[in-house]
C-alpha cells in the first residue's frame, strides 16, 4: 500500500506540481478529450465504406464523373408521407450509377433495374430494415419491437404487393401467393381485409355437406378425413391430423345431420349400360372434354386434366352410383351453384359415363375401414369437434353455422412485431421464417393449436409467404394516390331465358363476358360483332378446334334446336360492341385487285404465315387460329378492327399490333374474307 | 521562468478587471480564504470552514458530492439532448434514432445521461442511508433531513418522467404500469392518475406533460431544494461529525499526537 | 500485493482468452469411403431462376473411377460465390455414384459459376457448373419472352405448348445462342424487336412489337436475352481494365 501511495504522490507531483506544468497537462488532457468526438465521427463505419467506395471508383474508366457525383457525409432520403427516413445511401453509394452494374461487392453495386425511382419510394418500403440507422448491424439486422430485419431476396415481391393490388407481370410469386390464399381456403378462416376496403374471398368452392349422406358413405368420409391427399393428390383440403376415434365421430355426425336432398333422384331414368362397347365410356369422356376441368392420374402417375373440378382418379370409391348418375344427368339438382354445366346427355350416355367413372376406383383405398354404428354420445362428440375445428368455415352443413373470427385476422400480418411471435429453438428470428414455419408445421408451436396441415411445395410456401408479407401496416395506411387497385370481377348476369340457359350450361365457368367469368376460354363480350351467325350456330352444334395447340376444349352440349337458336340470337344481339361499326369494310366493295394486294401483304410484308395457316398446302405456322375458313367465321368489321388494334379487342393477346394503315387493313380483310369454308365444316 | 510567470500572475491579479470580478482578491490568509467562499454567490451556500476529518473518504464517502456531481452531469447532457429532441409522438422515437446514428457522439451523450440518472438514484439512496446510520438527521438537522427526502422524491420523479421521453416500448409500458399504480391510491387515486398523465391515456399529451416536468419544473424545484439543502448544512454547523465514536480514554501515544498536530 | 493481484488478473485474462478461442466442436465430418477419378454433371446445370430463390431441380453430379464405373461413398464438396447456399454443401455419393444438393441462388443477378470438387487419387477433380439468376427486370423479360417469343424462338416443345420453330422457313435464333446474339448491339436488338425483321434487313417472319410491348418491356426482354446467352454476353466496357 505504501509503495502505491508513494508512487501515486510522486506521479501527482510530476504532473501537477508546478503551476505551469499543471496548466500544460490539463490543457493536453482537454485537447485529447476534445479530439474524441471528431475522431469517433472520422472512424465511423459509414466513413470507412465511403472511403472504400472512393478507392473503388478511382481505378475505373469513368472515375472523374463518378467522383464528381460522390456525396460525402450522411445521406438520407426523406419521404414524410410514406414515413420513410432512409440513410442507406450513406454506405450504398453506387446505387444509381449505371456504370457500376458489373460490381459484385456490396455495398457498391448498382441497384438492379426496377420500374420505380429510388428517390420516390426510398429503400425501406420494399426491403424493410431500419432506415434511420447508419451502422450495418442496426440497419440490416435490428429486430427490436417495431424494427424489421432486412427482407430476404426471395420475398422481395412482397414489397410490390403493398401498393399493387393488381396482378403484375413481373411479380409471379406474389400473384401465385395471392391466388393460393383464395384457392386453398385460407381466407375462409383467416379474414383478410384489403386496403381498398374489400375482403378477400375464397375461390375454392368447397362442397356443401347438407346432403352428404346421399352422395357418399361414412367409411369414405372417415378415410378422407384421415388423409385427403391419399384420395386425391391434388385435393386442396388440408389434413386435420385426426385420430381414428375423432374421424369416426365426425363422420358419424355428418351422416346423421345430413338431410334428404329435395331433388327427384327417384324419378331418374337410368338406361342400362350393358351391351355397349367397353371403350364407349372413355371416348364419351374424351368427346365431352371432361378433362378440361377434371384431372385424372394416368398410368404413369401424372395428373392429366384441369383443376376447376375435383380429381376423378378414385371417384368410384367415393360416390354412390345413383348419385353419380343423377349428377351427370343434371348437376344443378344437387348443387344449384355448381360450376359444372348441364350437358343434356341422353340416358344411355349418362349410364355409359357413370359406368366409366365408377370403374375409376382403387381397391386399396379405404379397404380396411370398418366403423361400428355410432352412439348418440359419439355423434354429439363429432358435432363438438366439427364446431371446434371450424369445418363450417368452408363447408355448409346442417346444425353448425359458419364461425365468426375463427382464426387471427391476417390483414396486417406483414407488420407483426417480432416481440409478439413465438420462435422455436433453432428458428431464425424473422417474420418470413415464422410465417413459413407456421405454414409448414402449423401445430408445432404449442399444444392445442387447430390449424390443419397443408401439403405444399417449397415454391408454393414461398409464394404464400410473399403474399402474406405484402399485407403490411403501410399497405393499409398509405395515401390513396399511391395505391393501384385490383381488377374487380363484375357480377354481370345475362337476362331472360337465354340467361337461364347460360347459367345451366355454366358458360361463365370458362368464358368471360362483361367482366364476369373465367379466363380459360375467350372473352365473349364482343362475340356478336365478331362472328357470323351461321358459324356460331354450327359451332354450338359441334364445337371444333380453333386454336391448334391447346389442351382445353369446349365441350359439346346436346342442345335442342330451339335452345341453340335462342343462345345464338342472344349472343349475336346482346354482345355487340359499339366500337365496331358493322358496315366497316363490307365484302361487296372488294375488287380482285384488293384481294390480291391483301394476299401479298399477308405473305410478304407482314408474313402472317409465321403464325397463321391460311392455305394448308403452303403454310405451317401453328400459333394463332387457322384462317382457312375465317371468311365464314368472322365478320369483316371485326377482322378490320382486329388488324388495326388487336389489344383493344382482346387485351393481352399475343398478336402483335403492327400499326397497319387503313389501306393495308382493308386489303388484308378483303383477302381473308375470301377464305371461306366449302360447305360442311370439317371437324377436328 | 517560474519567477516571471508568478510576477505575471500577480500583475493580472492586481488589475482593475480582476478586482472588479473577484472582489476580495485571493490570498492565503484565513480572511482571504473565508472571503473567497463567502462573497461568491454560488459558494456562499457552503460553510467557510470544514473539519479536516470530514475530508477523508471514509467519513462521508463523498456520497452527497457525487450525487450533486451526477446531477450536474445530467443537467449538462440533458440540455445538449434537448437540442435534438421533439416531445411529439412519432418524432420522439425518431429523434432517439437520429441521436444514435447521426449526431456526433449522440449515443455517448444519451448513454451518459441515462447512466448518470441510474447512478444518481443509487447515490441518493446511499447518501440517505449513510445520513441515517450515522445519525446526521438528529437535532438541529431535522429540517435538512426533510429537505433531503423531498430531494429524493424529486430525483425519483425526474427519473420516472425522463423514462417516458424516448417513447419506445420500454418507456410506454413502464409509464403505463406506474400511472396505474398511482391510480390505486385510495380516494384520490384516479385524480392523481389524471393529473399525472394530463388525461386518461399515455399519449401525446402525457409525453408533453412529462417533458415539461422533466426539463423545467422538476429541475428548477430540485435546484431550489438543493440550494436550501446546502444552506442548511452551513447553518446547522457544517457536516456532521459522529459523536458516537468512543472518546480516547487511554493515553494517546506519540504517533497519534504527531498526526493530530499536522 | 499489487504484483500478486496483477498476476491473478493476467492468469484470469489468459484463461478467458483461451476459453474464448476454443470454437465449438465442428459437426462430425463426413467420412468418405472411396475416391473417384472423374466427376460429371448428371442434371441440374444451366438452370435459370429468380435471385435469392432455390433452383427448381437439384444439382446432381456423378463420380466415376478411371474405368467409368460409379464410385459410392466419395466426398463431393460444392462451392460457389459467397451468397449461394447449398443444402447440403458436402455430400457423400450414394450407391449409384450420385451426389445431390439443392442450390439456393445468391442475391446478385447474373451467371454463377459453381463448382463440385471431389478429392481424386492424386489431386482434386473439379466440375464447373453454370446457373443463372434473374433479377427483377430479367425475370420480367423471361415471363414476357415466354408469352410472346418462345413459341417461335425455342425449338423445344412441351406438353403444354407445341413449338412453332419447325414451321418457319427462316429459323429464328434461340435466345441462348450467344454466338449470334452477342454480336448484335442492344440498340439493334431493340430495333428488331420493335420494328420487326426488316429493321435489320432480316426476314419479315419476325413481327414488330413496338405497339404491343412498351419500351420498358422490350428492355426487359433484352436484359433477359443478355443474361441467358451462352457464351456469356460481355457488354462493351471501358478501355481501362476493371478490377
Which CATH number is B203's domain given?
A: 1.20.810.10
**pLDDT tens digits along A141-157:** 888 767 889 999 899 99
Number of compact structural domains in chain B: 2
- pLDDT band at C17; cut points 50, 70, 90: very low
Cβ separation B104–A40 shorter than 8 A: yes
Same domain membership, residue B7 and residue B64: no
Chains C and B touch (3+ CB pairs under 8 A): no
What sign does the dihedral C165-C170-C175-C176 (CA atoms) show? Answer: positive
- Residues 6 or more apart from A496 whose CB is under 8 A from it? A570
CA dihedral angle for residue B6, residue B9, residue B13, residue B15, rounded to 10 degrees: 120
pLDDT value of residue C242: 47
- pLDDT band at A640; cut points 50, 70, 90: very high
Does residue B252 belong to any structural domain of this protein?
A: no
pLDDT value of residue C24: 42
Record the pTM.
0.86
Once rounded to an integer, what is the mean pLDDT over residues B236-258? 69
Which is nearest to B168 in space by CA: B74, B78, B96? B96
Measured in whole angstroms, the distance separating CA C135 from the mean position of its chain's CA atoms is: 13
Same domain membership, residue B81 and residue B29: no
Spatial separation of the C-alpha atoms in residues C213 and C149, rounded to whole Å: 12
CATH class of the domain whose range is A172-203+406-482: mainly beta
**pLDDT tens digits along C214-228:** 999 999 999 999 999
**Options 1.20.1560.10, 1.10.10.10, 1.10.760.10, 3.40.50.170; which CATH number does A587-673 get?**
1.10.760.10
pLDDT value of residue A91: 94
Chain A residues inside the 8 Å CB shell of B169: 144-146, 419
Sequence ranges of chain C with CATH classification 1.10.760.10? 136-228
Could you give the 3-state DSSP secondary structure of residue C111? strand
| Beta-ladder partners of C39 | C63
> Which residue in A112, A115, A605 is closest to C216 by CB distance?
A115
Measured in whole angstroms, the distance separating CA C100 from the mean position of its chain's CA atoms is: 16
CA A430 to chain B, closest CA, distance in angstroms equals 19
C-alpha cell at A675: 377464305
Domain that holds residue B195: 57-240
Q: Which residue has the higher pLDDT, C64 or A553?
A: C64
In the 8-state DSSP scheme, what is residue B217?
I
Which is nearest to C61 in space by CA: C104, C96, C110, C113? C96
CB crowding C127-149: b at 16 or more within 10 Å, else e: bebebbbbbbbbbbbbbbbeebb
**pLDDT tens digits along A99-115:** 888 787 888 988 988 88
Confirm or reject contact between A79 and chain B (CB < 8 A): no
Spatial separation of the C-alpha atoms in residues C81 and A357, rounded to whole Å: 54
Average confidence score pLDDT of chain B: 90
Spatial separation of the C-alpha atoms in residues A235 and A530, rounded to whole Å: 39
CATH class of the domain whose range is A212-358: mainly alpha
Cβ separation B101–A133 shorter than 8 A: yes
C-alpha cell at A310: 375435383
- Is residue B84 pLDDT above 90, yes or no? yes
Chain C residues inside the 8 Å CB shell of A622: 162, 164, 167
Once rounded to an integer, what is the mean pLDDT over residues B104-127? 96
**Options 1.10.760.10, 2.60.120.10, 3.40.50.80, 3.20.20.70; which CATH number does A496-574 get?**
1.10.760.10
Report the share of chain A in percent with pLDDT over 70: 96
CATH of domain C38-134: 2.60.40.10
Confirm or reject contact between C22 and chain A (CB < 8 A): no
**pLDDT tens digits along A663-684:** 999 999 999 999 987 754 444 3
Sequence ranges of chain A with CATH classification 1.10.760.10? 496-574, 587-673
- Is residue C109 pLDDT above 90, yes or no? no
Does residue B253 belong to any structural domain of this protein?
A: no
C-alpha distances out from residue C65 to C40, C61, C62, C89, C211, Å: 11, 13, 10, 22, 58
**Least confident interval from A354-358, A560-564, B11-15:** B11-15
Chain C residues inside the 8 Å CB shell of A611: 151-152, 164
Spatial separation of the C-alpha atoms in residues A153 and A452, rounded to whole Å: 28
C-alpha distances out from residue C229 to A448, C172, C173, C180, C181, Å: 54, 15, 11, 9, 8
C-alpha cell at A612: 397463321
Same domain membership, residue B23 and residue B64: no
Same domain membership, residue B195 and residue B69: yes
- pLDDT band at A651; cut points 50, 70, 90: confident
CA A416 to chain B, closest CA, distance in angstroms equals 15
Same domain membership, residue B181 and residue B131: yes
**pLDDT tens digits along C136-187:** 999 999 999 999 999 999 999 877 778 889 889 999 999 999 999 999 999 9
Chain C residues inside the 8 Å CB shell of A99: 238
Does residue B5 belong to any structural domain of this protein?
A: yes
- Is residue A381 pLDDT above 90, yes or no? yes
Mutation pick from A157, A306, A461, A607 vs chain C, by most beta carbons of C within 10 Å, is A607
**Options 3.40.50.1460, 3.40.50.2000, 2.30.40.10, 1.10.760.10; which CATH number does C136-228 get?**
1.10.760.10
pLDDT value of residue A262: 67
Task: Please name the residue that has the C-alpha cell 385510495.
Answer: B186
Q: What chain A residue is nearest to C159 in terms of C-alpha separation?
A: A551
Spatial separation of the C-alpha atoms in residues A308 and A518, rounded to whole Å: 10
Spatial separation of the C-alpha atoms in residues A435 and A590, rounded to whole Å: 65
Contact A639, A561 (CB under 8 A): no
CA A434 to chain B, closest CA, distance in angstroms equals 22
Q: How many CB atoms lie within 10 A of CB B155?
A: 22
Chain A residues inside the 8 Å CB shell of B101: 74, 87, 132-135, 138
Once rounded to an integer, what is the mean pLDDT over residues A395-400? 92
pLDDT value of residue C122: 82
pLDDT value of residue A668: 93
C-alpha cell at A489: 370481377
Cβ separation C208–A611 shorter than 8 A: no
φ and ψ at residue A31, rounded to 5 degrees:
-65, -45
φ and ψ at residue B207, rounded to 5 degrees:
-60, -45
Could you give the 3-state DSSP secondary structure of residue A517? strand
CA A488 to chain B, closest CA, distance in angstroms equals 36
ipTM score: 0.87
CA C155 to chain A, closest CA, distance in angstroms equals 13
pLDDT value of residue A270: 58
- Is residue A593 pLDDT above 50, yes or no? yes
Same domain membership, residue B9 and residue B71: no
Spatial separation of the C-alpha atoms in residues A156 and B20, rounded to whole Å: 72
> Which residue in C53, C219, C238 is closest to A154 by CB distance?
C53
Look at strands C75-79 and A303-305 and give their pairing. unpaired
pLDDT value of residue C27: 46
C-alpha distances out from residue A204 to A226, A235, A426, Å: 21, 11, 35
Q: What chain C residue is nearest to A608 in terms of C-alpha separation?
A: C205
Q: Is residue A586 classed exposed, middle or buried when 0-12, 13-18 and 19+ CB atoms within 10 A define those classes?
A: middle
Once rounded to an integer, what is the mean pLDDT over residues A239-268? 84
Chains B and A touch (3+ CB pairs under 8 A): yes
C-alpha cell at B19: 478586482
- Is residue C70 pLDDT above 90, yes or no? no
Confirm or reject contact between C199 and chain A (CB < 8 A): no
Once rounded to an integer, what is the mean pLDDT over residues A153-167? 93
Same domain membership, residue B12 and residue B36: yes
- Is residue C18 pLDDT above 90, yes or no? no
CA B246 to chain A, closest CA, distance in angstroms equals 28
CA C240 to chain A, closest CA, distance in angstroms equals 6
Q: Which residue has the higher pLDDT, A192 or B6?
A: A192
Same domain membership, residue B63 and residue B15: no
Q: Which residue has the higher pLDDT, A106 or B216?
A: B216
Same domain membership, residue B231 and residue B103: yes
Does residue B73 belong to any structural domain of this protein?
A: yes
Cβ separation A173–C205 shorter than 8 A: no
Does residue B247 belong to any structural domain of this protein?
A: no
Q: What chain A residue is nearest to B108 in terms of C-alpha separation?
A: A37
pLDDT value of residue A148: 86
Q: How many CB atoms lie within 10 A of CB B71?
A: 23
> Which residue in A549, A610, A622 is closest to C205 by CB distance?
A610
Average confidence score pLDDT of chain C: 84
Same domain membership, residue B2 and residue B61: no
Amino acid at each position: 500500500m505504501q509503495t502505491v501511495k508513494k508512487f501515486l504522490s510522486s506521479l501527482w507531483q510530476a504532473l501537477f506540481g508546478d503551476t505551469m506544468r499543471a496548466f500544460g497537462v490539463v490543457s493536453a488532457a482537454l485537447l485529447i478529450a476534445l479530439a474524441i468526438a471528431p475522431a469517433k465521427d472520422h472512424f465511423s463505419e459509414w466513413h470507412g465504406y465511403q472511403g472504400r467506395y472512393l478507392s473503388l471508383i478511382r481505378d475505373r474508366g469513368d472515375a472523374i464523373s463518378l467522383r464528381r457525383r460522390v456525396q460525402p457525409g450522411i445521406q438520407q432520403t426523406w419521404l414524410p408521407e410514406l414515413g420513410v427516413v432512409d440513410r442507406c445511401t450513406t454506405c450504398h453509394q453506387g446505387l444509381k450509377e449505371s456504370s457500376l452494374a458489373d460490381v459484385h461487392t456490396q455495398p457498391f453495386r448498382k441497384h438492379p433495374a426496377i420500374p420505380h425511382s429510388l428517390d420516390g419510394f426510398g429503400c425501406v418500403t420494399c426491403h424493410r430494415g431500419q432506415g434511420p440507422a447508419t451502422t450495418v448491424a442496426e440497419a440490416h439486422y435490428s429486430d427490436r419491437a417495431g424494427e424489421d430485419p432486412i427482407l430476404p431476396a426471395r420475398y422481395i415481391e412482397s414489397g410490390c404487393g403493398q401498393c399493387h393490388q393488381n396482378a403484375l407481370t413481373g411479380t409471379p410469386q406474389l400473384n401465385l401467393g395471392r391466388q393460393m390464399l383464395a384457392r386453398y381456403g385460407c381466407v375462409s378462416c383467416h379474414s383478410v381485409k384489403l386496403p381498398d376496403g374489400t375482403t378477400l374471398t375464397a375461390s375454392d368452392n368447397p362442397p356443401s355437406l347438407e346432403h352428404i349422406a346421399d352422395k357418399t358413405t361414412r367409411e369414405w368420409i372417415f378415410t378422407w378425413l384421415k388423409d385427403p391427399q391419399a384420395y386425391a393428390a391434388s385435393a386442396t383440403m388440408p389434413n386435420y391430423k385426426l385420430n381414428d376415434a375423432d374421424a369416426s365421430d365426425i363422420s358419424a355426425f355428418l351422416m346423421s345431420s345430413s338431410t334428404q336432398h329435395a331433388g327427384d333422384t327417384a324419378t331418374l331414368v337410368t338406361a342400362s349400360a350393358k351391351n355397349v362397347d367397353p371403350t364407349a365410356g372413355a371416348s364419351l369422356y374424351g368427346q365431352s372434354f371432361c378433362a378440361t376441368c377434371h384431372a385424372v392420374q394416368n398410368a404413369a402417375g401424372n395428373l392429366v386434366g384441369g383443376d376447376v373440378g375435383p380429381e376423378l382418379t378414385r371417384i368410384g370409391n367415393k360416390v354412390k352410383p345413383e348419385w353419380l348418375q343423377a349428377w351427370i344427368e343434371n348437376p344443378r339438382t344437387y348443387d344449384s351453384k355448381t360450376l359444372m354445366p348441364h350437358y343434356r346427355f341422353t340416358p344411355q350416355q349418362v349410364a355409359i359415363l357413370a359406368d366409366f367413372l365408377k370403374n375409376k376406383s382403387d381397391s386399396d383405398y379405404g379397404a380396411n375401414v370398418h366403423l361400428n354404428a355410432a352412439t348418440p354420445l359419439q355423434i354429439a362428440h363429432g358435432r363438438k369437434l366439427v364446431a371446434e375445428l371450424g369445418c363450417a368455415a368452408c363447408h355448409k352443413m346442417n346444425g353448425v353455422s359458419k364461425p365468426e373470427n375463427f382464426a387471427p385476422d391476417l390483414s396486417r400480418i406483414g407488420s407483426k412485431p417480432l416481440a409478439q411471435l413465438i420462435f422455436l429453438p433453432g428458428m431464425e428470428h424473422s417474420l418470413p421464417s415464422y410465417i413459413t414455419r407456421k405454414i409448414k408445421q402449423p401445430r408445432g408451436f404449442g399444444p392445442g393449436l387447430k390449424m390443419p396441415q397443408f401439403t405444399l411445395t417449397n415454391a408454393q410456401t414461398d409464394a404464400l409467404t410473399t403474399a402474406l408479407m405484402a399485407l403490411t401496416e403501410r399497405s393499409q395506411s398509405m395515401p390513396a394516390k399511391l395505391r393501384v387497385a385490383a381488377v374487380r370481377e363484375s357480377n354481370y348476369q345475362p337476362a331472360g331465358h337465354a340467361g337461364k340457359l347460360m347459367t345451366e350450361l355454366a358458360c361463365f365457368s370458362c368464358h368471360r363476358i362483361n367482366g364476369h367469368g373465367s379466363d380459360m376460354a375467350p372473352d365473349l363480350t364482343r362475340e356478336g360483332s365478331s362472328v357470323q351467325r351461321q358459324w356460331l350456330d354450327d359451332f354450338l352444334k359441334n364445337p371444333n378446334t380453333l386454336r391448334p395447340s391447346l389442351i382445353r376444349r369446349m365441350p359439346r352440349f346436346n342442345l335442342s334446336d330451339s335452345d341453340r337458336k335462342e343462345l345464338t340470337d342472344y349472343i349475336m344481339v346482346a354482345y355487340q360492341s359499339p366500337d365496331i361499326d358493322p358496315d366497316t369494310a363490307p365484302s361487296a366493295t372488294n375488287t380482285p385487285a384488293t384481294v390480291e394486294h391483301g394476299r401479298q401483304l399477308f405473305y410478304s410484308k407482314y408474313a402472317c404465315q409465321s403464325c397463321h395457316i391460311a392455305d394448308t398446302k403452303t403454310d405451317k405456322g401453328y400459333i394463332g387460329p387457322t384462317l382457312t375458313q375465317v371468311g365464314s367465321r368472322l365478320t369483316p368489321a371485326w377482322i378490320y378492327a382486329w388488324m388495326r388494334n388487336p389489344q383493344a379487342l382482346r387485351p393481352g393477346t399475343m398478336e402483335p399490333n403492327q400499326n397497319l394503315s387503313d389501306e393495308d387493313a382493308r386489303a388484308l380483310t378483303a383477302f381473308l374474307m375470301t377464305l371461306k369454308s366449302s360447305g360442311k365444316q370439317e371437324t377436328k | 521562468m517560474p519567477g516571471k510567470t508568478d510576477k505575471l500572475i500577480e500583475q493580472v491579479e492586481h488589475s482593475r478587471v480582476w478586482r472588479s470580478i473577484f472582489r476580495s482578491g485571493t490570498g492565503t490568509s484565513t480572511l482571504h480564504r473565508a472571503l473567497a467562499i463567502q462573497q461568491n454567490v454560488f459558494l456562499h451556500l457552503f460553510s467557510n470552514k470544514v473539519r479536516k476529518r470530514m475530508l477523508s473518504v471514509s467519513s462521508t464517502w463523498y456520497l452527497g458530492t457525487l450525487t450533486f456531481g451526477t446531477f450536474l452531469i445530467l443537467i449538462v447532457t440533458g440540455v445538449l439532448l434537448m437540442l435534438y429532441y421533439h416531445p411529439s409522438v412519432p418524432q420522439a422515437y425518431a429523434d432517439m434514432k437520429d441521436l444514435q446514428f447521426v449526431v456526433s457522439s449522440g449515443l455517448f451523450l444519451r448513454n451518459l445521461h441515462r447512466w448518470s440518472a441510474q447512478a444518481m438514484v443509487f447515490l441518493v439512496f446511499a447518501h440517505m442511508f449513510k445520513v441515517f446510520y450515522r445519525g446526521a438527521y438528529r437535532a438541529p438537522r431535522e429540517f435538512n433531513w426533510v429537505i433531503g427526502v423531498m430531494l429524493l422524491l424529486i430525483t425519483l420523479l425526474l427519473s420516472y418522467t425522463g423514462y417516458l421521453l424516448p417513447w419506445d416500448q420500454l418507456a410506454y409500458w413502464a409509464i403505463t404500469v406506474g400511472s396505474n399504480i398511482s391510480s390505486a391510491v385510495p380516494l384520490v387515486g384516479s385524480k392523481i392518475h389524471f393529473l399525472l398523465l394530463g388525461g386518461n391515456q399515455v399519449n401525446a399529451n402525457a409525453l408533453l406533460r412529462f417533458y415539461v416536468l422533466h426539463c423545467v419544473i422538476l429541475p428548477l424545484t430540485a435546484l431550489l431544494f438543493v440550494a436550501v439543502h446546502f444552506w442548511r448544512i452551513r447553518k446547522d454547523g457544517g457536516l456532521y461529525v459522529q459523536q458516537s465514536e468512543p472518546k480516547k480514554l487511554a493515553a494517546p501515544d506519540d504517533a497519534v499526537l504527531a498526526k493530530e498536530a499536522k | 500485493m499489487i504484483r500478486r493481484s496483477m498476476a491473478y488478473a493476467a492468469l484470469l485474462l489468459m484463461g478467458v482468452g483461451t476459453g474464448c478461442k476454443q470454437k465449438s466442436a465442428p459437426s462430425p465430418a463426413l467420412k468418405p469411403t472411396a475416391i473417384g477419378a472423374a466427376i460429371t454433371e448428371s442434371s441440374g446445370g444451366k438452370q435459370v431462376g429468380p435471385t435469392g430463390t432455390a433452383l427448381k431441380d437439384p444439382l446432381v453430379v456423378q463420380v466415376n473411377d478411371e474405368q467409368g464405373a460409379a464410385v459410392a461413398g466419395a466426398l463431393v464438396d460444392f462451392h460457389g460465390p459467397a451468397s449461394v447456399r447449398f443444402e447440403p454443401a458436402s455430400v457423400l455419393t450414394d450407391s449409384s455414384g450420385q451426389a445431390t444438393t439443392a442450390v439456393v441462388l445468391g442475391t446478385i443477378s447474373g451467371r454463377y459459376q459453381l463448382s463440385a470438387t471431389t478429392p481424386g487419387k492424386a489431386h482434386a477433380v473439379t466440375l464447373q457448373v453454370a446457373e443463372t439468376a434473374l433479377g427483377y427486370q430479367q425475370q420480367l423479360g423471361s415471363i414476357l419472352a415466354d408469352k410472346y417469343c418462345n413459341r417461335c424462338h425455342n425449338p423445344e416443345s412441351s406438353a403444354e405448348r407445341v413449338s412453332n420453330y419447325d414451321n418457319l422457313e427462316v429459323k429464328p435464333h434461340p435466345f441462348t445462342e450467344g454466338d449470334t446474339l452477342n454480336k448484335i448491339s442492344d440498340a439493334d436488338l431493340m430495333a428488331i424487336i420493335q420494328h420487326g425483321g426488316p429493321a435489320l434487313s432480316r426476314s419479315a417472319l419476325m413481327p414488330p412489337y413496338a405497339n404491343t410491348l412498351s419500351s420498358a418491356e422490350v428492355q426487359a426482354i433484352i436484359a433477359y436475352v443478355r443474361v441467358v446467352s451462352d457464351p456469356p454476353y460481355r457488354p462493351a466496357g471501358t478501355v481501362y481494365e476493371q478490377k
